[in-house]
Amino acid sequence: MENLKLTEPFSEFKELKSIDRATMMSVLEDVFRSMLIKYFGTDENFDVIINIDKGDFEIWRNREVVENDQLEDPNMQIRLSEAQKIDPDYSVGEEVTDEVKLADFGRRAILALRQNLTSRIMELEKNNVYLKYKDRIGEIVTGDVYQVWKREILIIDDEGNELIMPRAEQIPTDYFRKGDTIRAVVVRVEMKNNVPLIILSRTSPVFLERLFELEVPEIYDGLITIKKIVRVPGERAKIAVESYDDRIDPVGACVGMKGSRIHGIVRELKNENIDVINYTTNTQLYIARSLSPAKISSIKIIEDEKRAEVFLKPNEVSLAIGKGGLNIKLAGQLTGYEIDVFRDTEGVEEEEDVNIDEFSDEIESWIIDELKAVGCDTAKSVLELTVEDLVKRTDLEEETILEVMRILKAEFE
Specify the CATH number for the domain of residue 232. Answer: 3.30.300.20
Strand 195-201 with 56-66, pairing: unpaired
Least confident of 83-97, 199-213, 352-366, 389-403: 352-366
pTM (2 decimals)? 0.66
Report yes or no: 167 and 173 within 8 Å, Cβ to Cβ. no
Please tell me whether residues 230 and 271 are part of one structural domain. yes
Please tell me whether residues 33 and 127 are part of one structural domain. yes
Q: Is residue 300, in this structure, part of any structural domain at all?
A: no
Q: Quick one: 384 exposed, middle or buried, by C-beta within 10 A (0-12, 13-18, 19+)?
A: middle
| pLDDT at residue 163, rounded to an integer | 95
Q: Is residue 363, in this structure, part of any structural domain at all?
A: no
Q: Which amino acid is at 322?
A: G
Please tell me whether residues 105 and 182 are part of one structural domain. no
Residue 322 and residue 273: Cα distance in Å, rounded?
Answer: 12
Report yes or no: 227 and 242 within 8 Å, Cβ to Cβ. yes
CA angle, residues 29, 33, 39, in degrees to nearest 5: 155
Among candidate residues 176, 200, 224, the one where a domain is terminated: 200
Q: Is residue 326, in this structure, part of any structural domain at all?
A: no
Q: Is residue 336, in this structure, part of any structural domain at all?
A: no
3-state helix, strand, coil in the chain (%, to 5): 45, 25, 30
Residue 386 and residue 320: Cα distance in Å, rounded?
Answer: 17
Report yes or no: 368 and 336 within 8 Å, Cβ to Cβ. no
Please tell me whether residues 196 and 208 are part of one structural domain. no
- 3-state per-residue secondary structure call for 156-200: ECCCCCEEEEEHHHCCCCCCCCCCCEEEEEEEEEEEECCEEEEEE
Please tell me whether residues 195 and 208 are part of one structural domain. no
Count structural domains, the chain: 3
Specify the CATH number for the domain of residue 101. Answer: 3.30.1480
Q: What is the pLDDT of residues 38-85, one digit of tens each?
A: 888 888 888 888 776 666 778 888 888 888 888 888 888 888 888 888
Please tell me whether residues 219 and 239 are part of one structural domain. yes
| pLDDT at residue 141, rounded to an integer | 95
| pLDDT at residue 274, rounded to an integer | 93
Please tell me whether residues 16 and 85 are part of one structural domain. yes
Specify the CATH number for the domain of residue 160. Answer: 2.40.50.140
Q: Is residue 106, in this structure, part of any structural domain at all?
A: yes
Residues 384-405: what's their mean pLDDT? Answer: 86
Q: Where in the sequence is the domain holding 216, given as residue range(s)?
A: 204-279
Question: At residue 2, does pLDDT exceed 80?
Answer: no
| pLDDT at residue 4, rounded to an integer | 45
Q: Is residue 137, in this structure, part of any structural domain at all?
A: no
Per-residue confidence band for 294, with pLDDT thresholds at 50, 70 and 90: confident
Query: How would you classify residue 249: left for phi > 0, otherwise alpha for psi between -120 and 50, otherwise beta?
Result: beta
Residue 78 and residue 141: Cα distance in Å, rounded?
Answer: 60
Question: At residue 184, does pLDDT exceed 80?
Answer: yes
Report yes or no: 276 and 256 within 8 Å, Cβ to Cβ. no
Residue 353 and residue 343: Cα distance in Å, rounded?
Answer: 12
Please tell me whether residues 258 and 245 are part of one structural domain. yes
Q: What is the pLDDT of residues 32-41, one digit of tens each?
A: 888 888 888 8
Among candidate residues 251, 279, 307, the one where a domain is terminated: 279
Please tell me whether residues 186 and 274 are part of one structural domain. no
Report yes or no: 341 and 374 within 8 Å, Cβ to Cβ. yes
Least confident of 47-56, 69-78, 224-233, 316-325: 47-56
Residue 29 and residue 89: Cα distance in Å, rounded?
Answer: 32
Please tell me whether residues 106 and 175 are part of one structural domain. no
Among candidate residues 200, 224, 243, the one where a domain is terminated: 200
Q: Quick one: 109 exposed, middle or buried, by C-beta within 10 A (0-12, 13-18, 19+)?
A: middle
Per-residue confidence band for 281, with pLDDT thresholds at 50, 70 and 90: very high
CA-to-CA dists, residue 40 to 27, 43, 45, angstroms:
20, 7, 10
Q: What is the DSSP letter of 101?
A: P
Please tell me whether residues 15 and 91 are part of one structural domain. yes
Q: Is residue 225, in this structure, part of any structural domain at all?
A: yes
Residue 143 and residue 155: Cα distance in Å, rounded?
Answer: 6
Residue 205 CB contacts under 8 Å (≥ 6 apart), including other chains: 229, 230, 231, 237
Please tell me whether residues 169 and 246 are part of one structural domain. no
Q: Is residue 330, in this structure, part of any structural domain at all?
A: no
Q: What 3-state DSSP class applies to 363?
A: coil
Q: What is the pLDDT of residues 112-135, one digit of tens each?
A: 777 877 787 788 788 888 988 999
